[in-house]
A = this chain, B = another copy of it.
Amino acid sequence: MRISVFRRAHFNAAHRIYNPKWSDEENRRVFGPCAHTNFHGHNYELVVKITGEVNPDTGYVMDINKLKQIIKTEIEDRFDHKNLNLDVPEMQGLIPTAEHICFTIWKILRAHIDEKLDLSVRLYETPRNFVEYPA
């Protein structure tokens, strides 16, 4: 019996969308107010999806409290109340769009989840804008 389990979490962070290879003018033209120098921010909502076989002894695909703890230690402690352009080593060299943040979260979590389990990550930047990796 293969089933998916989901855990929702959240963190609050600042960022700006800015390509350092471009002039300020070019950044403003492409990214508009998202390129604003002094940063803006979001309440990011995260949904982590784990897929695998149910363990008949526990009735769990994975102990959701262990998943919650991994998300706390590996994601919230790294991203919450931080600046995504300046404070997160794993984001260095990446423009902190929702796409790149989502992929980075997936890569960090992938190393901490049993490889028999599939992993996917959905990230809400606002209630109206969100992304999912893998597609």
Contacts and interface: CB of A to CB of B under 8 A. Distances in A.
Interface of A: 1-10, 12-15, 17, 19, 21, 30-34, 36, 38-43, 51-52, 54, 57-61, 63-65, 80-83, 86-87, 94-100, 102-103, 118, 126-135
Contact of A5 (B10, B43, B98): B98
Contact of A17 (B31, B36, B59, B126): B59
Contacts of A12: 40-42, 126
Contacts of A59: 17, 94-97, 99-100
Nearest to A64: B129
A65 B32 contact: yes
Given A59-B99, A128-B8, A81 B36 contact: yes
- The copy count of this chain in the complex is 6
Mostly, the A contact residues are: mixed
24 contacts: A3-B99, A3-B102, A3-B103, A5-B99, A6-B131, A7-B128, A12-B40, A12-B126, A14-B14, A15-B41, A21-B57, A33-B81, A36-B81, A38-B86, A38-B87, A39-B83, A40-B82, A43-B43, A43-B126, A43-B127, A58-B95, A59-B94, A59-B97, A59-B100
B4 A131 contact: yes
Nearest to A11: B40
